């Protein structure tokens, strides 16, 4: 069973500490507790992943930077973005980390589809992207996983040509239990993304639903995303 907690607007650092405490308790004291999804948004904040490099912070100015233990590089969180923190016992759910990431991404893709938008995966770059010139078109990307003609043994850099990132993923797994999760951009001030290299990629465009012409409230977007996450993360 997955329980949803609607946290609304909450401080990032406090929420991060609560996720750690929840996961520590369930892994060391009571493994039988329900899985949970926490839905919220944060005041403006940059978060660095374990691999985060300071050179990707171009000029944070008055926005605080918080070091975290999730994977990945720097990203931005702020009002108008749905944060979905998934606290899942993977051992009990019956799937591994790679499939877990796939399920998170699929929930976002299905959420976007609910609003008429086509979301895409990009080979070598977790998260979900949209075509900037045709966010509603259904053609598959040449840079989709499995479509690129990669040279065996040679890892190619992700190709973001013509794309904007609309959802970011960053996870942590402790004793088969996950925390952190994903961020879906709904209706934000996107300017703070210009002060970083999002997810460590210089020039990567960041978009939200409002900039591609989809008018939807935070509550409605969060409700649809929650429904998709519950469906796709269930055992």
Which tens digit of pLDDT belongs to each residue from 81-117?
999 999 999 999 999 999 999 999 999 999 999 999 9
Q: What does the alpha-carbon distance between residue 11 and residue 20 come to, in Å, rounded to a whole number?
A: 15
Question: By the 8 A CB rule, do 165 and 190 touch?
Answer: no
Tell me the C-alpha distance between 217 and 133, whole Å. Answer: 23
CATH class entry, domain 2-233: alpha beta
Note the pLDDT tens digit of each residue in 163-176: 999 999 999 999 99
116: alpha, beta or left, given left = phi > 0 and alpha = psi -120 to 50?
A: left
pLDDT of residue 155: 62
One-letter-per-residue 3-state SS of 149-206: CCCCCCCCCCCCCCEEEEEEEEEEEECCEEEEEEEEECCCCCHHHHHECHHHCCCCEE
**48 pLDDT higher than 90:** yes
pLDDT at residue 151 is higher than 60:
no
| pLDDT of amino acid 156 | 77
- DSSP letter at 57? B
| Other CB atoms within 10 Å distance of the CB of residue 3 | 12
Active-site residues, by number, are 199
Q: Can you give the length of the chain in residues?
A: 235
Among the listed residues 210, 185, 171, the one whose alpha carbon sits nearest the alpha carbon of residue 77: 185
Listed residue (178, 197, 191, 195) closest to 100, CA to CA: 178
For position 147, what pLDDT does the model report? 58
3-state secondary structure at position 95: coil
* pLDDT > 60? residue 152: no
Over residues 218-225, the mean pLDDT reads 98
What is the pLDDT, as a whole number, of residue 24?
96
Q: In what order do the strands lie in the sheet with 45-48?
A: 65-67, 45-48, 75-77
User: What pTM did the predictor assign?
Assistant: 0.95
In terms of Cα–Cα distance, which of 57, 55, 53, 54 is closest to 45?
57
pLDDT in tens, 157-166: 899 999 999 9
Segment 67-83 mean pLDDT: 97
Predicted confidence at residue 29, as pLDDT, reads: 87
Rounded to the nearest 5 degrees, what angle is found at the Cα of 123, between the Cα atoms of 122 and 124?
Answer: 110
Query: What is the mean pLDDT of the segment spanning 208-228?
Result: 98
Check pLDDT > 70 for residue 131: yes
Closest CA to 92 of 46, 44, 26: 26
Residue 121 is predicted with a pLDDT of 97
Q: What's residue 153's pLDDT?
A: 52
pLDDT value, residue 100? 97
Q: How many other β-carbons are positioned within 10 Å of the β-carbon of residue 101?
A: 17
pLDDT per residue as tens digits for the range 196-205: 999 999 999 9
Helices (H), 29-126: 90-93, 97-114
87/216 Cα distance (integer angstroms)? 26
pLDDT category of residue 178 using cuts at 50, 70 and 90 = very high
């Amino acid at each position: 069973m997955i329980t949803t907690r609607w946290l609304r607007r909450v401080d990032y650092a406090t929420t991060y500490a609560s996720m750690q405490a929840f996961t520590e308790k369930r892994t060391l004291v009571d493994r039988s507790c329900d899985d949970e999804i926490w839905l919220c948004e944060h005041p403006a904040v940059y978060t660095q992943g374990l691999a985060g490099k300071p050179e990707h912070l171009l000029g944070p100015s008055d926005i605080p930077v918080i070091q975290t233990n999730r994977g990945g590089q720097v990203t931005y969180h702020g009002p108008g973005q749905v944060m979905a923190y998934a606290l899942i016992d993977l051992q009990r759910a019956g799937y591994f980390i790679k499939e877990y990431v796939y399920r998170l991404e699929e929930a976002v893709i299905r959420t976007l589809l609910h609003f008429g938008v086509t979301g895409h995966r990009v080979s070598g770059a977790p998260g979900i992207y949209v075509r900037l010139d045709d966010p509603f078109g259904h053609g598959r990307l040449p840079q989709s996983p499995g479509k690129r003609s990669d040279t065996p043994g040679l890892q190619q850099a992700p190709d973001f040509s013509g794309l904007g990132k609309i959802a970011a993923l960053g996870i942590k797994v402790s004793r088969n239990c996950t925390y952190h999760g994903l961020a879906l951009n709904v209706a934000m001030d996107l300017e703070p993304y210009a002060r970083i290299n999002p997810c460590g990629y210089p020039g990567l465009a960041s978009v939200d639903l409002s900039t591609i012409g989809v008018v939807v409230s935070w509550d409605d977007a969060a409700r649809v995303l929650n429904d998709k996450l519950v469906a796709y993360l269930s055992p």
